[in-house]
Amino acid sequence: MNDAPHEAEETATVTLFSQTARLWALILLAVLAPTTLSAAPFAAYVMDARTGQPIYKQNEDTKLHPASLTKMMTLYLAFTAVERGQVRLDSKFPISSNAAAEPPSKLGLKAGQQIELRYLIRAAAIKSANDAATAIGEGLAGSEAAFAQQMTQMARALGMNNTQFRNANGLTQDGHYSTAHDMTILGRRLFYDFPQYYNLFSRRSADAGITTVSSTNKRFLDGYPGADGIKTGYTRAAGFNLTASASRGNKRLIGTVFGGTSTAQRNQVMAQLLDSSFSRVPSRVREVRPGPPPTMTQRIVRRAKVEPKLAALQPQPQELTLNASAPPEPAMRALPSTTTSAAARPQAMSQLALSVSPRPQLRPNATAEAVAKAVQMAVASDDSAASASPAAPVLANSSRPVPAPRSRGSSDPGDASTAAVLADAAPAPQAGSDSLALMASTPPEPRSDRVIVAAMGEGDIADPAALEIVSRAENSGRHWGVVLGLHRSKAAADELLLQTALQSGDVLENANRHVADTLRGFEPSFANLTKADAQLTCDRLQAKQQECRVVGP
């Protein structure tokens, strides 16, 4: 038989196969080369969510682009604002042209539109909509730049020391970065600080008001047993990122991967990290919850604004002169017309004079002659008594006291000694005046009260400082819980929690149910309660002979 045709056919087949293989290799190289050349740096971090202790870390503190993992902080601040009462879930937020112009992924919002906050939260958490995240930031802080500053401040308060935000959606921007370690911390805070909203991250789809949105994390949620969140992210600069949370029995892990090369590769790496970490952590461990969630307060700082003026630079200080009020007019008293002549009356009117008081009325059955006689007898008796006294010579030689500076008109012109004293002590009164008068003093010179003041500008109220993140008081808010004793099995503890929740109505509507596996048994509890609700729940249960105790922060 002639094998030449068969050899030729076999050679042609091998040649064709080689050419086809080369072509596919070139296509594959062309596809993979750009991805390989532009691949983002890889980083990963896994922690035990119950204690916050690291299980695996690689480049965990390398500052990289977080992409849409940024929206975790946007949602954290939105939940904080709702819990503080700053806004409500049904509050309508206006959509700006800036938010409407954000690139995909987006919800499709239009400028001028108004939409409830609950729909924006769903779109940002589930679909990772950039326009929804920007609208949340602008609605809460007034502008995206101001909101980014609040995001960074909150990150510092949570211990995310290598994170800085520039926008609310995670699109690539200079100075916008985070780390795998910091994003894992944020994922743990979302789980513990807002358990009432955490189930949002495990939804596969949700109503976002104008449309139904699907989860960008659906593949990992469906493909990894126990996964219940949290957030995906992708940009060319960041690669494929993921912060995930999963539980197995009493164990819960939270991990972050930066710089994946594809969705499938990123999910596979995360699954391998979680699998290996679950095998390394103990089943029973003392849970160490993070502290109370920080809150935001506005601190207003008043600053005195002093601007130099020309008067302050001169040697002489600036003087502020207060004009002296005019001196009061002298009070004029009526002068008896019988004692003041017409010529002396104008001069007497310029003095401050006291009018002579009217003489007392005579008693009935008394005459003027009898009164005068009684006065003469009294004077004579005083003179005789004084002369008979042993001290009379001493008193006679002593000088008379100087009268007060006032003039008393005397009807006795012979009293020369009194007149001499009055002449030395004060100016002589007007001739012929019997009135008791105070000599009119010279009006004081108008005094110029001068107040020297420093040249200074008026104080101003500066713009309010940025929102300050402070720790919330431990005895405020929903940081109380109730513990329902110990049980032998987890099933019994879960059943008790369910029955109690159903019987308590609205009191435990927002409570977080939890069963702790302790060395003594399984301990069911409700968390995220106010102090009043916790006490009310225990009172009701104790009335039914059910063990219960209130636990606080």
Residue 8 lies inside a defined structural domain of this protein: no
Residues 247-264, mean pLDDT to the nearest whole number? 95
pLDDT at position 407 is 47
* 147 has pLDDT over 80: yes
pLDDT at position 138 is 96
Residue type, 445: E
pLDDT at position 456 is 44
Residue 503 lies inside a defined structural domain of this protein: yes
Looking at every residue in the chain, the average pLDDT score rounds to 76
More confident residue, 303 or 57: 57
Residue 498 pLDDT grade (very low, low, confident, very high; cuts 50, 70, 90): confident
Rounded Cα distance between 511 and 195, Å, is 9
pLDDT at position 389 is 53
Can you list the alpha helix ranges (DSSP code H) found in 476-553?
Answer: 490-504, 531-543
Question: pLDDT (tens digit, 9 = 90+) per residue, 8-32?
Answer: 444 444 454 455 555 445 444 444 4
Q: Are 324 and 449 in contact (CB under 8 A)?
A: yes
Question: pLDDT (tens digit, 9 = 90+) per residue, 344-390?
Answer: 554 544 444 455 566 666 666 555 666 667 666 765 655 544 445 55
* 51 has pLDDT over 90: yes
Residue 264 lies inside a defined structural domain of this protein: yes
Residue 111 lies inside a defined structural domain of this protein: yes
Q: Are 296 and 468 in contact (CB under 8 A)?
A: yes
For 401-405, 450-454, 519-523, which range has the lowest pLDDT when averaged over its residues? Answer: 450-454
Count up the domains in the chain and report the number.
2
pLDDT at position 512 is 85
More confident residue, 475 or 358: 358
Closest listed residue to residue 230, CA positions, set 213, 255, 261: 255
Residue 313 lies inside a defined structural domain of this protein: no
C-alpha distances in angstroms, 514 versus 12, 250, 262, 481? 70, 10, 36, 10
User: For position 539, which CATH number holds?
Assistant: 3.30.70.1070
pLDDT at position 325 is 64
Burial label, 487 (beta-carbon count in 10 A; 0-12, 13-18, 19+): middle
Q: C-alpha angle 41/148/139, rounded to 5°?
A: 135
Domain boundary among 284, 318, 343: 284
Confirm whether residue 231 is marked as ligand binding. yes
Domain boundary among 252, 284, 316: 284
* 64 has pLDDT over 60: yes
User: For position 277, which CATH number holds?
Assistant: 3.40.710.10
Residue 163 lies inside a defined structural domain of this protein: yes
Residue 316 lies inside a defined structural domain of this protein: no
* 199 has pLDDT over 70: yes
Domain boundary among 255, 284, 313: 284
Question: pLDDT (tens digit, 9 = 90+) per residue, 156-175?
Answer: 999 999 999 999 999 999 99
Give residue 516's domain range.
Answer: 480-551
Residues acting as catalytic residues: 68, 71, 128
Residue 333 lies inside a defined structural domain of this protein: no
